[in-house]
Amino acid sequence: MICNFINNQSVESHSERQQPVYDPATGEIQNHVKLSAKAEVELAIQVADKAFKTWSTITPLNRSRVLFRFKALLEENRNELAEIISREHGKVFSDALGEITRGLEVVEFACGIPHLQKGEHSLNVGTGVDSHSLMMPLGVVAGISPFNFPVMVPMWMFPIAIATGNTFILKPSEKNPSAPLFLAKLLKQAGLPDGVFNVVQGDKEAVDTLLQDERVQAVSFVGSTPIAEYIYSEGAKYGKRVQALGGAKNHMLVMPDADMNGAVNALMGAAYGAAGERCMAISVAVTVGEETGDALVRLLQDKLATLKVGQGYGQEIENDMGPLITKEHKQKVSGYIQQGVDEGATLVVDGRELPLAKSSDGYFVGGTLFDNVTTEMTIYKEEIFGPVLCVLRADNYQQALKIINDHEYGNGTAIFTADGDAARDFTSKVQVGMVGVNVPIPVPMAFHSFGGWKRSLFGPLHMHGPDGVRFFTRMKAITTRWPESDIKSGSKESTQTQAEFVMPTMK
Ligand code: NAD
């Protein structure tokens, strides 16, 4: 039974509700997770609230030293952690290692917190008056994470949250809940005091408790758009600071002058890596001109014949992609493929026909390619979150740009071209939060911030980087005037010689 981690200890849940955790490669149940009841989440909040009183007073340098030790432990244990990710998620071992690296980079960023949390200072904002700002921690903060990055997404949140002096409660996805517990144990080993980082397993009941409890000051969420919208409005209703990252439909614009082999290789990884279960996966290629579209589809079709699909775990495994997360998700993705056919798109490669997809009890769907997709089709409008790539044909650049800008999601996008002017125009005019130029998955590094536009993000602040520090701190502005000192001048005079009833202005 997979448990909670509260106050630096594994805590068995007494909830009456539980659910199986599957091995997506075989369809077998490998464990169960208890879905925490309200009172169990409240215990974690109470513990975190108590821990905040001391953790927030520890010097930033000492907080960052804990993170330095955590970073070293992560590096030592990365293979074991990647195996845990891969067994519950299904992604291939090398991809799981990549996920850990991208999370680790946020830890490295957070190690610099004494610098990042310095605030600002102005001398003489008025005669004899100085002003400075403090970036104060908020208190107890919560993170709610999706199944597709069980380590990286929580690590977009908690290293910065705890480095800035907050205490943290993580509610991981109930589909693959083990990896965050491994992180909790490493944090304890790194010397993190009791109650600073806690994990509660669960579903809506646990999430609602975090959203509604007045001791929780902020909620950082990553998941699908309908739930992100709910978290944002419900969190705001209870007076919380919220950042809620949602779903995506990421387009790659392929111009006629693009390096076609480079674009095809980039598309293969971006569309089919992690079986398309990435919020930055490219699920739409928009080609400009008939020849570009024909060449791209032909090359993709050839490459798809070599895509290696199979079990993800095991360090020796050399597959390109693994199974989907659940049986229901496999059915959903297969349903979308059928809907694409019914709506009139050209199914060039059908992942349902992959022998493994038919013979295995695991949740495999092969790489799927649609051509001649239009903007009215459901497979274009909705997020499929599987290994399905749609090709849309545009006559010219302006038409392609409009297609991308008209989509309701705006997480990531890319342009593949040899033309600097087209790339420059694209980066300034496209209505999307993260943009790549000849880079298919433009996930910003940890010292920049990650976030989409439109219905891919609710809330003003992006994740990690400078926005991450802003999200987990609140500013205090201090204006100081000292009476003239008699030690210095020999006489003491009042600085406020008379009452002033007009709005104060600096002199
Ligand atoms: P999900 O929305 O189903 O679940 C996310 C979290 O919300 C989980 O912890 C889950 O337990 C919780 N949850 C689910 N239903 C809830 C409810 N009714 N009330 C309260 N909480 C609830 O998402 P998922 O399937 O785990 O993850 C895939 C989705 O996440 C995709 O849409 C993907 O695009 C998105 N995602 C976005 C980003 C991003 O950066 N924008 C990153 C990763 C994943």
DSSP codes joined into one string, 328-348: HHHHHHHHHHHHHHHTT-EEE
Single out the residue of 228, 222, 88 nearest to residue 155, CA to CA.
Answer: 222
| pLDDT at 494 exceeding the cut of 90 | no
Q: pLDDT digit string (tens) for 364-384?
A: 999 999 999 999 999 999 999
Cβ neighbours, 10 Å, residue 243 = 26
250 lines ligand 1 (CB under 6 A): no
Give yes or no for a contact between 32 and 19, defined as CB atoms under 8 angstroms apart: yes
| pLDDT at 87 exceeding the cut of 70 | yes
Mention every residue, 6+ apart, whose C-beta is less than 8 A from residue 384.
Answer: 276, 283, 333, 336
Q: How far is ligand 1, taken at its centre, from the CA of residue 478, in Å? A: 40
291 burial type by CB count under 10 A (0-12 exposed, 13-18 middle, 19+ buried): exposed
Q: How far is ligand 1, taken at its centre, from the CA of residue 269, in Å? A: 23
CA trace torsion 198, 218, 280, 377 (10° rounding): 120
pLDDT-based confidence at residue 492 (cuts at 50, 70, 90): low
Across 104-142, b (16+ Cβ under 10 Å) vs e yields bbbbebbbebeebbeeeeeeeeeeebebbeebbbbbbbb
Domain 4-246+456-475 CATH assignment equals 3.40.605.10: yes
pLDDT-based confidence at residue 505 (cuts at 50, 70, 90): confident
Pocket residue to mutate for ligand 1, from 33, 88, 148, most atoms within 8 A of Cβ: 148
pLDDT confidence of residue 174: 98
| pLDDT at 315 exceeding the cut of 90 | no
Give yes or no for a contact between 319 and 285, defined as CB atoms under 8 angstroms apart: no
Q: How far is ligand 1, taken at its centre, from the CA of residue 382, in Å? A: 15
244 lines ligand 1 (CB under 6 A): no
Cα–Cα dist 189/103, whole Å? 18
Cα–Cα dist 91/153, whole Å? 15
pLDDT confidence of residue 215: 98
More confident residue, 505 or 421: 421
Q: Which residues pair with 412 in a beta bridge?
A: 434
Q: How far is ligand 1, taken at its centre, from the CA of residue 85, in Å? A: 17
At 161, which helix (H) or strand (E)?
A: helix 152-163
Q: Which residue's CA is the closest to the ligand 1 atom numbered 9?
A: 173
Q: Which residues pair with 168 in a beta bridge?
A: 141, 197
Q: pLDDT digit string (tens) for 263-309?
A: 999 999 999 999 999 999 999 999 999 999 999 999 999 999 999 99
Q: Which residue's CA is the closest to the ligand 1 atom numbered 40?
A: 245
At 237, which helix (H) or strand (E)?
A: helix 225-237
99 lines ligand 1 (CB under 6 A): no
| pLDDT at 486 exceeding the cut of 80 | no
Residue linked to tokens 């349903």:
335
Cα–Cα dist 355/372, whole Å? 26
Q: How far is ligand 1, taken at its centre, from the CA of residue 221, in Å? A: 8
> How confident is the prediction for the chain on average, in pLDDT?
96
Assign a CATH topology to domain 250-446.
Answer: Aldehyde Dehydrogenase; Chain A, domain 2 (3.40.309)
Structure tokens at 141: 């903060």
234 lines ligand 1 (CB under 6 A): no
Helix axes 93-110, 60-76, angle to 10 degrees: 160
Considering Cα of 177, then 183, then 189, then 192, what sign does the dihedral take? negative
207 lines ligand 1 (CB under 6 A): yes
The answer to whether the 4-246+456-475 and 250-446 domains have the same CATH topology is no
Q: Long-range contacts made by residues 70-79, C-beta under 8 angstroms, separation at least 24?
A: 70/107, 70/159, 70/186, 70/187, 70/190, 70/192, 71/104, 71/107, 71/108, 71/111, 73/186, 73/189, 73/190, 74/100, 74/103, 74/104, 74/107, 74/186, 75/104, 77/182, 77/186, 78/104, 79/315
Cβ neighbours, 10 Å, residue 250 = 30
Cα–Cα dist 63/65, whole Å? 5
Residue 153's identity, in one-letter code, is V
pLDDT confidence of residue 317: 84
Single out the residue of 181, 189, 222 nearest to residue 468, CA to CA.
Answer: 222
pLDDT confidence of residue 75: 98
246 lines ligand 1 (CB under 6 A): yes
Q: ∠339-340-346 over CA atoms, to 5°?
A: 145
- Give me the DSSP letters along 196-209: SEEE---SHHHHHH
Cβ neighbours, 10 Å, residue 7 = 18
Pocket residue to mutate for ligand 1, from 153, 224, 326, most atoms within 8 A of Cβ: 224
Report how far Cα 244 is from the mean position of its chain's Cα atoms. Answer: 9
Q: pLDDT digit string (tens) for 198-243?
A: 999 999 999 999 999 999 999 999 999 999 999 999 999 999 999 9
The full set of domain ranges for the chain reads: 4-246+456-475, 250-446
Q: Which residue's CA is the closest to the ligand 1 atom numbered 43?
A: 279
| pLDDT at 18 exceeding the cut of 90 | yes
Q: pLDDT digit string (tens) for 111-161?
A: 999 999 999 999 999 999 999 999 999 999 999 999 999 999 999 999 999
State the average pLDDT over residues 335-357. Answer: 98
pLDDT confidence of residue 506: 73
Instruction: Give me the active site residues, please.
Output: 279
Q: Which residues pair with 436 in a beta bridge?
A: 414
